[in-house]
Amino acid sequence: MGRRHRQQIWLAWALCLTSWVACGQGGDAPPPPGSLQTDPQQMRALVGVEASPVVGIAGDFDVQQRQHQIGQFPCARCHEQPQELTSLSEANPRWAHANIRAIHPARGSCNTCHNYDDLQTLRLQDGTTVDVNQVYQLCSQCHFEQAQDWAGGAHGKRLGGWRGRRVIMNCTDCHDPHAPAFGPEIPVAGPRIPRTARRH
C-alpha cells in the first residue's frame, strides 16, 4: 500500500469520525448550556454605576443616574429664591452659571426646563416634574424619534455588556443639555487589517 493511499484512508476515517461525533452519535450528548440570564444585582456590581429603572418610556431597562455627577448639585446650596427669567438674554454675566451659553431650546428660558418651585427637579411641558436622573423624559418631549431609538437600543451607549440587565447612559451623559448638537468631526481611517490569505 502506497503512502498516498494510506493518507487517503486516514483522511476518510477522520472525516467519518468527525461526522459521527458532530451528529451526536459519539456517546453522551453535551449538557445543555446554562442560562444566559444574569442576576440584576450582579450586573449592577459589574457595571459599577448607580442605575435606576426607566420611567415613562416603554422598555424594561435601567438608566445610569446623573445626579451624583453634577458638580453644582443640589441647586439649593446656592439658590434660596431664584429669579425667574423670561429670556436667556436677561442672565447676568456675573452669575455663577455665566459659563452656560444656552442655545437649546432656541426660544426658551431657564425655566423652560428647570423647575423654579423645586430646583432639584426638572419641569415637563405639561407642568409635571421629574428627577434630574429622569432627564430623558424631558428630552423625549421634543426629540421623540431619538427617544424611541434610545429606548429600543439604537441610540445611546449601553454599559456593562450585552448579558443580563440592560443599563444605558442618560441623554445628558453624552449631550450638553444647553447645546446638545455635536460639532463637526474629522473622519478617521479604519484600522489596517493584515491579509492572512491571498487569492491566487
What is the residue extent of each domain of the chain?
A: 36-174
pTM value is: 0.57
Better-scored residue on pLDDT, 131 or 21: 131
- Tell me what pLDDT residue 197 has: 57
8 A C-beta contact, residue 26 and residue 19? no
Q: Which of 10-14, 108-112, 148-152 has the highest mean pLDDT?
A: 148-152
What are 62's three cell numbers? 435601567
CA angle 73, 151, 127 (to 5 degrees): 50
82 contacts 72 by C-beta, under 8 angstroms: no
Instruction: Give the residue, 176 or 5, on which the prediction is more confident.
Output: 176
Asked if 159 and 167 count as a contact pair (C-beta separation under 8 A), the reply is yes
| Residue 99 pLDDT class (50, 70, 90 cuts) | low
pLDDT band (50, 70, 90) for residue 129 = very high
pLDDT of residue 162: 76
Mean pLDDT of 139-162: 87
Structure confidence at residue 86 (pLDDT): 47
Question: By the 8 A CB rule, do 152 and 59 touch?
Answer: yes
Higher pLDDT, 77 or 19: 19
Residue 34: its pLDDT value, please?
Answer: 45
- Position 146 scores a pLDDT of 92
How much is the mean pLDDT over the chain?
A: 73
Q: Above 50 in pLDDT, residue 55?
A: yes
Cα 145 to Cα 149: distance, rounded to the nearest angstrom: 6
